[in-house]
Structure 1
Amino acid sequence: MPANKKYLSSPGQRVLKVTAALFGGYLVSLSFHQLLMTFLDKKTVVITSFFSMYILWAILMILAFLAKNGWKIWATYILLSLLFCAPWIYEAYIK
């Protein structure tokens, strides 16, 4: 039985969701771990990030495909990445 057309997204939205899932999810998970490195022991965060980064990336990939609009998920991922990188940028360049 074919899928109902109202539940399918356009090809442009599919591309946005796939790129947000792959690249945006990785960007958010990487910036989150950079945020943790500013407040916690760097060695511990690096060791645990091998597992936790993959898990977080997988969750963010699922969330990207659950979203209705690819532009909104990209905007959310970029804003989260900037928010997570703000203390690191402040510490590295402004301080």
Structure 2
Amino acid sequence: MLTNLGPICELATCQHQACKDADACKGVELRKKFAAESLTNRAQQLLQDAADLGFVITVEQRPLQPLAMGNYESVLTERRARHG
């Protein structure tokens, strides 16, 4: 979870109430702001690492019961790459 990472900004500049309550900035707001970019970069690196090792990674969302919007699980699978 993003809030488990170490401090990345100063308490004086942080606007997150949990940081103020803890009297120490956890960088929550900055992490939220850059979370999508960070996750995309990490995912791209994972895909590159897998390709370098001869694997293909697939991530898909599988529906759960009851069927409803947002009621799914993300599943990661890997397989050996097929080379023509």
TM-score (norm 2): 0.36
Task: Considering fraction of residues, name the structure with more strand.
Answer: 2
Higher share of residues assigned helix: 1
For the pair shown, the structure with the greater C-alpha radius of gyration is: 2
Compute the TM-score of the two structures, normalised by the length of structure 1: 0.33
